[in-house]
Structures are given as structure tokens and as C-alpha cells.
Amino acid sequence: MNNNCIENIINLLASAYSIIMIEHYMILLLIIKARNNVNLQDQLLNLVRDHLDKEKRLIETARLNDCVSNDLANTIGEFISNIDNGLLMVSDPEFVSSYISNFTDALRIIAKYMVNHEELASRVMTELQRVVRDGVKILM
């Protein structure tokens, strides 16, 4: 693996841990608090949408295609599909209508999505960390 690949992966990991992973837990906390706080309900949907947009841009600009194995590329592809599905969900007029009229059910859907999304993100990050460690070991 070349140094550019390792640098790209390290940059992605640094951004992911300083932005993405923190936001995941912030969103999960907001989900818990929004159950009993109407003021937070308005913020939640926009926060999830903004977070997913940010994640998608970050991953798309990381230029990892030539740096990872096919298995990891497939996992990253699965994560990108998960992001796209989340963006479709929070932008779907039917879901937004349900969010307004039956917040409790919509909140369950968002919570289930975010837990799955966070698990998938963690899997991608763990694999990218392994690639970095292996790449650095080769340099030693």
C-alpha cells in the first residue's frame, strides 16, 4: 500500500472520530431526550439529515477505491447505501408526515436506523484502522 493511501485513510479516520462518531452519540442522546421534549423533536430530523449529508461528502472525498480490499470496499459500499437510505427516509414526504402526526413511531424508526447505522460505521472504522496498522507495519 502506498503512502497516499495510508494518508487518505488516516485523514478519514481522524475526521470520522472527531465528527462522525461524536455526532452519532449526540443524535442517539437527542433521540432519548426527544421522547419527552417537544422542542427537540423539531431539531432531530434536520440534525440526522445534516449528519448523513456530512458523512456522505466525507466518505466520497476520501478517495479510498484503490486503497482497500474488495471486502472492505463492499463494506464501505454498504455503509454508503445505508447513508443513502437514511437520506431518503428523512426526506420522504410520507415519513415527514408520520414524523409530525405520530412522532413516537417515527422516533422508533429513526432510533433503529441510527443504531444500525452506528454499528455499520464502527465496522468500517475498525477495518480502516486495521489497514492503517498493517500499512505502517510494512514501513517498519
Number of domain units in the chain: 1
User: 31 with 107: CB under 8 angstroms?
Assistant: yes
pLDDT tens-digit readout, 111-139: 999 999 999 999 999 999 999 999 888 87
Average pLDDT over residues 85-91: 97
Average pLDDT over residues 96-125: 95
DSSP state of 140: -
Average pLDDT over residues 53-69: 86
Distance CA 139, CA 35 (A): 50
Distance of CA 127 to the CA centre of its chain: 15
Does residue 63 carry a pLDDT above 80? no
Q: Which of 101, 106, 90, 29 is nearest to 55 (CA)?
A: 90
pLDDT of 1 reads 67
Query: Who wins on pLDDT, 1 or 107?
Result: 107
Q: Where are the alpha helices (DSSP H) in 35-102?
A: 38-60, 70-91, 93-101
Distance CA 131, CA 32 (A): 35
Domain that residue 36 falls in? 3-139
Distance CA 73, CA 58 (A): 15
